[in-house]
């Protein structure tokens, strides 16, 4: 292989990866079906994938700085059902689902559900902070402009976020239990959380 071909191949690989990411960004797919790479999960007709209790895996470390400049570590939320929502202020489906997340987060907090956003591809925090203010978002969001938490936080073969918006729900043991790759209405969002709140 000549030296002049190596950079071209690298650029081609980067171009293909960028195109794949662009296709997955800001998904409004109504069925939410995905290959996911996992082996022990089921996607129902509503586009929500779930894993049976005994087959769930924990995510890798997901921790960092919030949009407001605080520190947040998901490990500190063990014992709660944790709803992770991947979003960007530039994403129309994220705006469409935001009122549902605000309502359900407020309704279910007292029952043991904690919501955490993962804000991505907002390279300036101001639009993301304005989004949170506009939709009265009552929970913090980790600031992940380059998607490092999204890429590194979920083991291969688990229900990982593959689109924007994506929602991943962790059970009380901190294990990955459910995922959606689409904007969620209130009913679908509750359907991902309430069975996990009822688990013993």
Q: Using one digit for the tens of pLDDT, what is the confidence trace for 129-138?
A: 999 999 999 9
**Where is pLDDT greater, at 10 or 121?**
121
Q: Which of 166, 168, 193, 171 is nearest to 77 (CA)?
A: 171
Mean pLDDT, range 94-108, rounded to an integer: 98
Q: Which of 26, 34, 159, 157 is nearest to 84 (CA)?
A: 159
Mean pLDDT, range 18-47, rounded to an integer: 47
Antiparallel, parallel or unpaired: β 48-51 and 41-43 = antiparallel
Of all helices (H) and strands (E), which one includes residue 60?
A: none
Helix (H, G, I), strand (E, B) or coil at 58: coil
- Give pTM, 2 decimals: 0.81
Mean pLDDT, range 73-89, rounded to an integer: 97
Of all helices (H) and strands (E), which one includes residue 33?
A: none
Instruction: Give the count of beta carbons closer than 10 Å to the beta carbon of residue 102.
Output: 17
Rounded distance between C-alpha atoms, residue 132 and residue 8, angstroms: 42
| pLDDT reading at 146 higher than 60 | yes
């Amino acid at each position: 292989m000549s030296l002049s071909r190596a950079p071209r191949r690298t650029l081609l690989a980067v171009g293909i990866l960028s195109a794949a990411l662009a296709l997955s960004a800001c998904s409004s797919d109504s069925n939410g079906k995905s290959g996911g790479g996992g082996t022990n999960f089921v996607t129902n007709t509503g586009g929500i994938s779930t894993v049976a209790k005994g087959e769930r895996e924990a995510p890798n470390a997901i921790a960092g700085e919030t949009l407001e400049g605080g520190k947040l570590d998901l490990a500190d939320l063990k014992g709660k059902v944790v709803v992770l929502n991947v979003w960007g202020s530039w994403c129309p489906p994220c705006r469409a689902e935001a009122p549902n997340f605000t309502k359900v987060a407020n309704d279910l907090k007292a029952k043991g559900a904690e919501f955490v956003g993962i804000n991505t591809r907002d390279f300036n925090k101001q639009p993301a902070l304005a989004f949170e203010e506009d939709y009265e978002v009552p929970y913090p969001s980790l600031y992940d402009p380059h998607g490092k938490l999204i890429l590194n936080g979920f083991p291969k073969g688990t229900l990982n976020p593959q689109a924007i918006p994506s929602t991943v729900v962790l059970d009380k043991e901190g294990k990955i239990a459910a995922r959606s790759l689409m904007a969620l209405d209130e009913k679908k969002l509750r359907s991902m959380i309430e069975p996990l709140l009822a688990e013993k």
